Amino acid sequence: MIITNNEEALRVKCTNALPDEISPIIDRLDKELQYSAALGREGLGLAAVQIGIPKNVAIVRLENYRFNLVNAKIRQGYDKAIFESEGCLSFPGRYERTMRFQEIIVDNEVEPYSFIATGLLAVVCLHEIDHTDGILLPDIALKEIKTIKKLRPNDLCNCGSKIKFKKCCGK
């Protein structure tokens, strides 16, 4: 069963999966994602920590893309953009504005070993890899800006990154 609204259980820092652990975890993730869809809660991916397994394993099931992310890391990200409605099966009905890379390079321990993801596929991969690092949707949600203020290059960026504007969204 997918863990919902339990930030303590979802913030567990995952450990790398061993070779003999991978297939059973992926099978269970596929079944949980299918079960969730049968209940009317379709998802595009699922991380092992969301079903109580604190391992660096996640699946991405987006149209024709079927990726298994095992001990995956983001090597590089390009072109930050605002994603208007990112959701999460662990926070049913909650959608947030987020700042995500539009293109990423992913290093993975199973095929494909290294790949480039763009657009929605990049967002889903980032989301699931965030889960394995204990980062949740509420953590990355953009804060609404009440006043409009012209940012100078050395001001902190208003996307919430805590980086200077000139090195973040002002590029």
- Is 70 exceeded by the pLDDT of residue 149? no
Distance CA 144, CA 42 (A): 27
Task: Identify the weakest region by mean pLDDT among 29-33, 36-40, 89-93, 142-146.
Answer: 142-146
> pLDDT band at 139, cuts 50/70/90?
very high
**Cis peptide leading into residue 19 (ω within 30°):** no
What was the pLDDT predicted at 156?
A: 81
Q: What architecture is the 7-140 domain classified under in CATH? A: Alpha-Beta Complex (3.90)
Bridge partners for 57 per DSSP: 70
> What pTM was computed for the model?
0.82
Which long-range contacts link 45-48 to residues 24+ away (Cβ below 8 Å)?
A: 45/124, 45/125, 45/127, 45/128, 46/2, 46/89, 46/128, 47/14, 47/128, 47/131, 47/132, 48/14, 48/17, 48/132
Asked about 128 being catalytic, the answer comes back as: yes
**Domain spans of the chain, in order of start:** 7-140, 147-171
Residue-wise pLDDT for 71-102, tens only, equals 999 999 999 999 999 999 999 999 999 999 99
Which one of the listed residues 32, 86, 96, 128 is annotated catalytic?
128
